[in-house]
Amino acid sequence: MTDKIVKSDAEWRAQLTPEQYKVCRQKGTERAFTGKYHDSKAPGVYVCTCCGQPLFDADTKFDSGTGWPSFWQPIEPGAVAEEEDRSFFMRRTEVLCSRCDSHLGHVFPDGPRPTGLRYCMNSASLDLRPAPADDKKD
């Protein structure tokens, strides 16, 4: 992974939309089934909205039925960081971008094989970089 990115609150506000800022910098959550990627099946790599770090490969995305994009593993070890979250009288594991500390969502132990994990992310925290088009012509 690359060096940490640190910006002032004003810099983040200038860079992000109000929804992205609320989710990424203030640890908000978008409403279920409203995010642009909750039902996307497009190939590519999901990167951090704030800093562009690769986070999840679309090949690990699955339909969890929750209304948020869900993945069974990050693109590589160290792409995301985890912290205990005790907000709203719950005990959960928050998932952050390891490069800029953007709030991405939470991880739960009820996902599919092979990991058994469900990284339940906010679309506002992600940008999909489409897979390169195949240049081969038949």
Catalytic positions, written as ranges: 120
According to DSSP, the residues that pair with 50 across neighbouring strands are none
CA 58 vs CA 12, 14, 48, 125, 129: distances in Å? 26, 29, 14, 15, 10
Round to whole Å and give the CA distance between 97 and 93: 13
Round to whole Å and give the CA distance between 135 and 122: 32
